[in-house]
Structure 1
Amino acid sequence: IAEAMERVGRDGVITVEEAKGIDDELEVVEGMQFDRGYLSPYFVTNSEKMTCELENPLLLLTDAKITSLKDLVPVLEQIQQTGRPLVIIADDLEGEALATLVLNKLKGVLNITAVKAPGFGDRKKAMLNDIAILTGATLITDELGLTLEKATLAELGQCSKVVIDKDNTVIVDGKGDPANVEARVNEIKSQMETTSSEYDKEKLQERLAKLSGGVAVIKVGAATETEMKEKKDRVDDALSATKAAVDEGIIIGGGAALIKAGQKVEIDLVDDQLIGAEIILRAISAPMKQIAINAGCDAGVVVDKVMNNDNPNVGFNAATGEYIDMLEAGIVDPLKVARVALLNATSVSSLLLTTEATVADVKEEPTAMPTMPDMSGMGGMPGMM
């Protein structure tokens, strides 16, 4: 996880998948990757890997659907004179246009490939603009009054390399202006802060990673399916904790940070507000108390010893029963986790205190079996001894 974070940065995307073998693997995609492959296998340049690999290509980006080659002829003639390969990323490319490009590729007239634009709807337009900024291209779109017939070399993007397989495209080392890329990154970050949709936030994070960080895939290996599930869950939890730590930093673990912070609080309140503050200061010792109870120790004694220790980093190590410097021992928690937990607990408690009534299920007591009636005075019954 640490290596993945180091490779893709804080804005990168890290996903966890199941490996096919028993060994753990880390796969990092350098550059921008999106889930669209070549439109025809005839564009393949590496038959062994079934990939199309183009060095130092030009990139033509458009949100138009290309069906006729006549729209492309002027710009193709200019590209042919440069001798450089071309990557076309369009809304779609089909019919006569695709067939003619394939034919020119097979004849060696043009070193070319074509890919459908990633995403759908508004996200497709946004992704095309991201690619344009990353590569220094101008998106050919009717909204700007630009057409393919009048496209020039100045409107094409550039990068060091493009690798395309049947499912994915990777653009390596885009030659766009770094200042424009940074501005786009800040724009996406701003959108992430204002959106309330978790789905939109996830998609914005993916775009951010493609522009500024990268994509890392941690493949978790195991011998059995049960071990795989348990191990993958642990990696997911560790990854979430690591991301939270990168976002806001770390604090000493075991609930010690809350207790130490509580000792620094100066209360200048009266009446009900004072009572509320004192309740919170008592409540923040609950995590350490629970850890002590789980370890079979006296919770009050543990909390008292931590509070009275002058070292601000001292906490209780439940595994050994010792009071140690938590930072030196590497026992830490993400600040974000502790902060959000305290905020959520305070929010729920406040809601319960100000609620006039709650709806709850009443637990029904099990009904006792009825006692058998006394049959001693009934006399004998036929057929019974």
Structure 2
Amino acid sequence: ANKTNDKAGDGTTTATVLAEAIYSEGLRNVAAGANPMEIKQGIEKAVKALTEELKKMSKKISDRKEIAQVATISANNDEEIGEIIAKAMEKVGKDGTVTVEEGKGFETTLDVVEGMNFDRGYLSAYFATNPETQEAVYENALVLIYDKKISAMKDFLPILTAAAESGRPLLIIAEDVEGEALATLVVNRLRANLKVCAVKAPGFGDRRKAILEDLAILTGAQLISEELGIKLETATIDMLGQVKKMVVKKEETTLVEGAGDKEAIQKQIALIKRQIEESTSDYDREKLEERLAKLAGGVGVIRVGAATEIEMKEKKDRVDDALQATKAAVEEGILPGGGSAFIHCIPILKKLSENLTGCSKVGAEIIMKAITYPLRQIAENAGQEGSIVVQKVMGMKVNEGWNALTDEYGNLVEMGVIDPTKVVRLTIELAASIASLLLTTEAIITEEPKEEKAPAMAGGGMDY
């Protein structure tokens, strides 16, 4: 479930239901004498056929209405959230960055600000400030941009000391931070609560240098480079850039509202556009276009409003889930939702099963049965008989199924009951993977829960 959430941002419940169904059915067959390795092979063949069929059924989306539909469903049918996510993605583009944060009022708002996102995360999990989300989040941070590796502490100490004395958080973006330097940063983060985070610079070679220049212009930093005659040990605090907010995750970094000069940013954008026009290499042009999108696209900031802190947390989680699911939908397309897409893949699995023998055939049949469970569970949660709903949907066309919200059968895509293909694909792939692993494992080691002793009874008193 966690892997599904990490990769697609949604589908945790479906992945859990599928994993439990595959494991239970598999275990029943293994207990009856079936070979677990052959069952695993059958499961893998069935999942491969299933995902190929899902991709064929998938419908690409691009228009705002469909994007809003996906977001609305992923946010538990909240149309306000669906609309605001569709608007955000329209403004920053499908490859743009959208962040979600807590607002200060009752309204949920959207702002598009200057900023950048790149696919590199923190160099140590100890830099995370939020253990629950595993993110390092700071406001009004200083940014050090260096084009070489930082390993010796003596070269790095002067600028680190100056940043620490300013009382502001420091984000370090360098080719790498390793050895003594990284260890010192981690120790000071843990013991002295130093507000610091180190990130490896994105890209390689000349491309890395170009991205660092973009980051320097965006944040108002001076790129510290010996080629420019600036050594790390002589760097001063006025060479550091600034951002209004930074969010660093395990595999990505987002900088919001850098302090760079707007005119300098526009000049850099114009330069990149000119390089795109002059480029003769498709690969170089593609990389330049990526740089342009990151620098010019900005960052969409959704500020979630609510009346209470509990409502705020719940709503923010829904916006986060909906945003990730919507990105997945734009990436790989959509399928009819509510578990119907799986039901329409059963004929393909039947055909595959007929060509298999022995325990491999059993493995394919396990998947065939397991993929009915999500729809069956949704129906039972809505007070319907699951097996009857499954049978009705099996006789319908590809985009058709059952709408649990309205208790209607029909075209689910037109009704707006849709799921991102990526989410559906990952739920079955990852559920089958973990269930197969458990079926072929001889023993599982678990931590024995500690027995908590009941508290001692209070001594009784006597009245005289």
Return the offset for 1:31: 5.9
Distance in 1, matches of 2:296 and 2:447, equals: 51
Do 2:115 and 2:258's aligned partners in 1 also have CA atoms closer than 8 Å? Answer: no
Return the offset for 1:62: 8.0
**Counterpart amino acid of 1:120?**
I
Do 2:114 and 2:258's aligned partners in 1 also have CA atoms closer than 8 Å? Answer: no
Query: Identity of counterpart residues, as a percentage?
Result: 46
Return the offset for 1:234: 1.5
Q: What are the ranges of 5 or more consecutive residues in structure 2 without an aligned counterpart?
A: 1-84, 119-138, 149-157, 163-169, 177-198, 203-207, 231-240, 246-256, 451-464
Q: Structure 1, residues 183-240: CA drift from partner, whole Å, max 9, x if none?
A: 4974999xxxxxxxxxxxxxxxxx9973464211100112222222222122112112
Range with greater deviation from structure 2 (3-12 or 331-340): 3-12
Do 1:256 and 1:288's aligned partners in 2 also have CA atoms closer than 8 Å? Answer: yes
Distance 1:140 1:320, change over 3 A: closer
Distance 1:232 1:212, change over 3 A: same
Distance in 2, matches of 1:216 and 1:316, equals: 35
What is the root-mean-square deviation of aligned Cα atoms in Å? 4.5
Q: Specify the SS of the correspondent of 2:345.
A: helix
**What residue is the counterpart of 1:278 in the other structure?**
365
Q: Please identify which structure carries the higher helix content.
A: 2
Compute the TM-score of the two structures, normalised by the length of structure 2. Answer: 0.48
**What residue is the counterpart of 2:271 in the other structure?**
176
Distance in 2, matches of 1:164 and 1:279, equals: 52
Distance in 2, matches of 1:165 and 1:237, equals: 25
Q: What are the ranges of 5 or more consecutive residues in structure 1 without an aligned counterpart?
A: 40-60, 65-90, 96-116, 149-161, 190-206, 365-385
Q: 2:389 aligns with which of 281, 291, 302?
A: 302
Compute the TM-score of the two structures, normalised by the length of structure 1. Answer: 0.57
Do 1:289 and 1:303's aligned partners in 2 also have CA atoms closer than 8 Å? Answer: yes
Distance in 2, matches of 1:362 and 1:250, equals: 43
**What residue is the counterpart of 2:48 in the other structure?**
none
Alignment of 1:242 with 2:329, yes or no, is no
Return the offset for 1:242: 0.9
**What residue is the counterpart of 2:425 in the other structure?**
339
Range with greater deviation from structure 2 (217-226 or 283-292): 217-226
**What residue is the counterpart of 2:400 in the other structure?**
314
Alignment of 1:130 with 2:211, yes or no, is yes
Distance in 2, matches of 1:38 and 1:348, equals: 43
**Counterpart amino acid of 2:363?**
G
**Counterpart amino acid of 1:130?**
I
Return the offset for 1:357: 2.2
Distance in 2, matches of 1:346 and 1:120, equals: 39
Distance in 2, matches of 1:33 and 1:284, equals: 37
**Counterpart amino acid of 2:357?**
V
> How many equivalent pairs are there?
264
**Counterpart amino acid of 1:177?**
I
Do 1:258 and 1:285's aligned partners in 2 also have CA atoms closer than 8 Å? Answer: yes
Distance in 2, matches of 1:187 and 1:176, equals: 10
Q: Structure 1, residues 319-362: CA drift from partner, whole Å, max 9, x if none?
A: 22221210000000111111111011111121122111234689
Return the offset for 1:147: 3.6
**What residue is the counterpart of 2:441 in the other structure?**
355
Q: Specify the SS of the correspondent of 1:120.
A: strand
Pick the structure with greater CA Rg. Answer: 1
Q: Specify the SS of the correspondent of 2:344.
A: helix
Distance 1:141 1:347, change over 3 A: same
Do 1:12 and 1:215's aligned partners in 2 also have CA atoms closer than 8 Å? Answer: yes
Distance in 2, matches of 1:13 and 1:165, equals: 16
Return the offset for 1:243: 1.5
Q: Specify the SS of the correspondent of 2:405.
A: coil
Alignment of 1:25 with 2:109, yes or no, is yes
Return the offset for 1:244: 1.4
**What residue is the counterpart of 2:356 in the other structure?**
269
Do 1:38 and 1:165's aligned partners in 2 also have CA atoms closer than 8 Å? Answer: no
Distance in 1, matches of 2:88 and 2:115, equals: 15
Q: Structure 1, residues 88-145: CA drift from partner, whole Å, max 9, x if none?
A: xxx97xx9xxxxxxxxxxxxxxxxxxxxx9633335765763153687xx97833xx5
Q: Structure 1, residues 262-316: CA drift from partner, whole Å, max 9, x if none?
A: 223431222221121111111111100001111111111111111012x211111
**What residue is the counterpart of 1:12 in the other structure?**
96
Q: 2:335 aligns with which of 232, 245, 251?
A: 251
**Counterpart amino acid of 2:316?**
K
**What residue is the counterpart of 2:374 in the other structure?**
287
**Counterpart amino acid of 2:389?**
V
**Counterpart amino acid of 2:294?**
K
Return the offset for 1:38: 9.3
Distance 1:165 1:329, change over 3 A: closer
Q: Which has the higher contact order (CA 8 A, sep 6+)?
A: 2
Do 2:104 and 2:305's aligned partners in 1 also have CA atoms closer than 8 Å? Answer: yes
**What residue is the counterpart of 2:34 in the other structure?**
none
Distance 1:176 1:140, change over 3 A: farther
Distance 1:313 1:124, change over 3 A: closer
**Counterpart amino acid of 2:213?**
A
Distance in 2, matches of 1:176 and 1:28, equals: 23
Do 1:128 and 1:139's aligned partners in 2 also have CA atoms closer than 8 Å? Answer: no
Range with greater deviation from structure 2 (212-221 or 328-337): 212-221
**Counterpart amino acid of 2:329?**
A
Distance in 1, matches of 2:286 and 2:140, equals: 22
Distance in 2, matches of 1:165 and 1:290, equals: 45
